[in-house]
Structure 1
Amino acid sequence: MSEPGKTRFQIDLRRYLREQEEDRDLIRLICEIAEASKYIVNSIRTGDLGVAGTSNLYGEQQLALDVLADRILRKRLFHSGVVANIVSEETDDIIPVSPDCEGKFSVAYDPLDGSSLVDVNLAVGTIVSIYAGCNLFQSGRNQVAALYILYGPRTTLVYSTGRGVHEFAMNQLMEYTLVRENVRVAPSGSIYSPGGQRNLYSAGTESFVRQLEENGAKLRYSGGFVPDINQILMKGKGVFLYPHLQGQPEGKLRLLYELNPMAFLMEQAGGAASTGRVPILDLVPTKIDDRAPVFIGCREDVARAESLVAAQG
Structure 2
Amino acid sequence: MKDIFLETIQTIAIRIKDAIDVKDIGYSQQENSSGETQLQLDIQCDLIIEEELSKITSIHTIASEEKEHEMLINESGKYYVAYDPLDGSSLVDVNLSVGSIFGIYEGDWGAQNMVASCYVVYGPRVEMIFAQTKAKLFLLQNNEFEFVKEIRLNEKGNLNAPGGTQQNWAPYHKEMVDSFFNEGYRLRYSGGMVPDLHQILLKGGGLFSYPATSDRPDGKLRKLFEVYPFAFIFKIAGGDAIDGINEDIMSLDHDHIHGTSPCFFGSKYEISVVKEVYARNR
For the residue of structure 1 that corresponds to 2:196, the secondary structure is helix
Tell me which residue corresponds to 2:140. Answer: 170
Query: Is the Cα–Cα contact under 8 Å of residues 231 and 249 in structure 2 kept in the other structure?
Result: yes
Distance 1:35 1:247 in 2: 38
Q: Give 1:253's aligned amino acid.
A: L
How many residues align? The count is: 281
Tell me which residue corresponds to 2:102. Answer: 128
Tell me which residue corresponds to 1:99. Answer: 75
Matched, 1:243 2:219: no
Q: Give 1:109's aligned amino acid.
A: Y
Distance 2:68 2:178 in 1: 39
Gaps of 5+ in 2: none
Query: Is the Cα–Cα contact under 8 Å of residues 158 and 205 in structure 2 kept in the other structure?
Result: yes
Matched, 1:158 2:126: no
Tell me which residue corresponds to 1:72. Answer: 48
Tell me which residue corresponds to 1:142. Answer: 113
1:299 Cα deviation after fit? 1.3
Tell me which residue corresponds to 1:21. Answer: none
Query: Is the Cα–Cα contact under 8 Å of residues 188 and 299 in structure 1 kept in the other structure?
Result: yes
Matched, 1:272 2:240: yes
Distance 1:303 1:164 in 2: 23
Distance 1:144 1:231 in 2: 24
1:203 Cα deviation after fit? 2.5
1:141 Cα deviation after fit? 3.8
Query: Is the Cα–Cα contact under 8 Å of residues 108 and 129 in structure 1 kept in the other structure?
Result: yes
Query: Is the Cα–Cα contact under 8 Å of residues 165 and 265 in structure 1 kept in the other structure?
Result: yes
Please, which of 14, 23, 32 is the counterpart of residue 56 of structure 1? Answer: 32
Query: Is the Cα–Cα contact under 8 Å of residues 158 and 167 in structure 1 kept in the other structure?
Result: yes
Structure 1: which 4+ aligned runs deviate by more than 2 Å? none
Rg larger in 1 or in 2? 1
1:116 Cα deviation after fit? 0.5
1:312 Cα deviation after fit? 2.4
- Superposed, 1:246-261 pairs within 5 Å as 246-261=214-229
Q: Give 1:205's aligned amino acid.
A: H
For the residue of structure 1 that corresponds to 2:100, the secondary structure is strand
Distance 1:105 1:247 in 2: 35
Gaps of 5+ in 1: 1-24
Query: Is the Cα–Cα contact under 8 Å of residues 164 and 210 in structure 2 kept in the other structure?
Result: yes
| Distance change >3 Å, CA 255–CA 285, structure 1 → 2 | same
For the residue of structure 2 that corresponds to 1:273, the secondary structure is strand
Structure with the bigger percentage of strand: 2
- Superposed, 1:191-230 pairs within 5 Å as 191-230=159-198
Please, which of 258, 271, 274 is the counterpart of residue 305 of structure 1? Answer: 274
For the residue of structure 2 that corresponds to 1:32, the secondary structure is helix
For the residue of structure 2 that corresponds to 1:261, the secondary structure is helix
Q: Give 2:27's aligned amino acid.
A: V
1:247 Cα deviation after fit? 2.7
Query: Is the Cα–Cα contact under 8 Å of residues 87 and 95 in structure 1 kept in the other structure?
Result: yes
Distance 1:59 1:301 in 2: 34
| Distance change >3 Å, CA 180–CA 26, structure 1 → 2 | closer
1:77 Cα deviation after fit? 0.7
For the residue of structure 1 that corresponds to 2:190, the secondary structure is coil
For the residue of structure 1 that corresponds to 2:208, the secondary structure is strand
Q: Give 2:57's aligned amino acid.
A: G
1:125 Cα deviation after fit? 0.3
For the residue of structure 1 that corresponds to 2:120, the secondary structure is strand
Tell me which residue corresponds to 1:114. Answer: 88
For the residue of structure 2 that corresponds to 1:170, the secondary structure is strand
1:30 Cα deviation after fit? 2.2
The more displaced of 261-270 and 280-289 is: 280-289
For the residue of structure 2 that corresponds to 1:81, the secondary structure is coil
Tell me which residue corresponds to 2:11. Answer: 35
Please, which of 262, 265, 272 is the counterpart of residue 293 of structure 1? Answer: 262
Query: Is the Cα–Cα contact under 8 Å of residues 193 and 241 in structure 1 kept in the other structure?
Result: yes
1:29 Cα deviation after fit? 2.2
Distance 2:186 2:12 in 1: 35
Identity of aligned residues (%): 36
Matched, 1:263 2:219: no
Distance 2:124 2:6 in 1: 22
